[in-house]
Amino acid sequence: MRKVLVSACLMGRRVRYDGRAKPVGDDTVTRWREEGRLVVHCPEIAGGLSVPRPPAEIEPDADAADVLAGRARILTPEGADVTDHFVSGARSALATAQTHGVVLALLKESSPSCGLHEVYDGTFQGRKVPGEGVTAHLLREHGVVVFNENEVAQAADRLRGLEQD
């Protein structure tokens, strides 16, 4: 049985920067949990950050690849550099995925760690730009297929296909 890595906040864990969760509440995810398929992980907690914590964004005009290559930082609104926590968390997520043989992940959109299609633009003005978080990028670079919380049906289709291979 293929395992699925899932963002901890989507499973109701209060690990977001603001101390809240974002439970996905989807029957397919509930079934995956009952099947023992889910590997629940929060990269930012694994990277040593606490709850609550300041929000953080990738610097303007940089992307996740830049951060992982040491060319850009992840900062709080006060300018504190939290890059090392985010990179450590991404590596932890990858190691966890590899330990469990994960080939597919369901991640929380827009996070500087877990976002897949868009992230905040680094100005803390609430504006989003196309891009991905550092964990999503690292997982994808290592062959894990990633979906967000609005793509559960597509994730389930892909999982079925992977299990038939």
Q: Which stretches of the chain bind ligand SF4, using CB under 6 A?
A: 7-9, 15-16, 42-44, 108, 111, 113-114
* Count of Cβ atoms closer than 10 Å to residue 121 Cβ: 18
Vertex 13 angle, CA 8 and 18, to 5°:
100
Nearer of residues 42 and 138 to ligand SF4, judged by Cβ: 42
Nearest to 115 by CA among 154, 77, 148: 148
CB of 16 to ligand SF4, least distance (A): 4
CB of 114 to ligand SF4, least distance (A): 4
Pair 121, 60: CB distance under 8 Å: yes
CB of 57 to ligand SF4, least distance (A): 12
* Count of Cβ atoms closer than 10 Å to residue 146 Cβ: 22
Exposed (0-12), middle (13-18) or buried (19+): which is 10, by Cβ within 10 Å? buried
Nearer of residues 139 and 159 to ligand SF4, judged by Cβ: 139
Nearer of residues 40 and 62 to ligand SF4, judged by Cβ: 40
CB of 30 to ligand SF4, least distance (A): 18
Nearer of residues 37 and 41 to ligand SF4, judged by Cβ: 41
* Count of Cβ atoms closer than 10 Å to residue 15 Cβ: 25
